[in-house]
Amino acid sequence: MADVWYLALAYGIIWLGLFGYLFHLSRQAHALGQELNLLREVLATEGRDEPEWDDAPEFDEEPQALAAERLAASQPAPGEA
């Protein structure tokens, strides 16, 4: 019975290590994506064109459109001020 316990512990460590590392990578990728969308948002709210990047990765257009909407909503309508 002790055999099975040691075997389970060892294989548990292997799967925990591998899936734990995969989870760590996916979290890093998610954080990176969020940071990049934030950067785009900041640039959009600054009202400037984004700089042109070499080999820029592709990203969803959604956050930029959202940022533009938020910016429009935060500004007073003409004649309101």
Q: By the criterion CB under 8 A, which residues form the site for other proteins? A: 2-4, 6-7, 9-11, 13-14, 17-18, 21-22, 25-26, 28-30, 32-33, 35-36, 39, 42-43, 46, 48, 50-51, 53, 55-60
DSSP structure class, residue 1: -
| Residue placing its CB nearer to other proteins in the complex, 9 or 80 | 9
CB 67 within 8 A of CB 45: yes
Could you write out the DSSP letters of every residue in 3-71? HHHHHHHHHHHHHHHHHHHHHHHHHHHHHHHHHHHHHHHHHHHTT-PPPPPTTPPP--SHHHHHHHHHH
Q: How far is the CB of 39 from other proteins (least distance, A)?
A: 6
| Residue placing its CB nearer to other proteins in the complex, 10 or 77 | 10
Q: How far is the CB of 73 from other proteins (least distance, A)?
A: 23
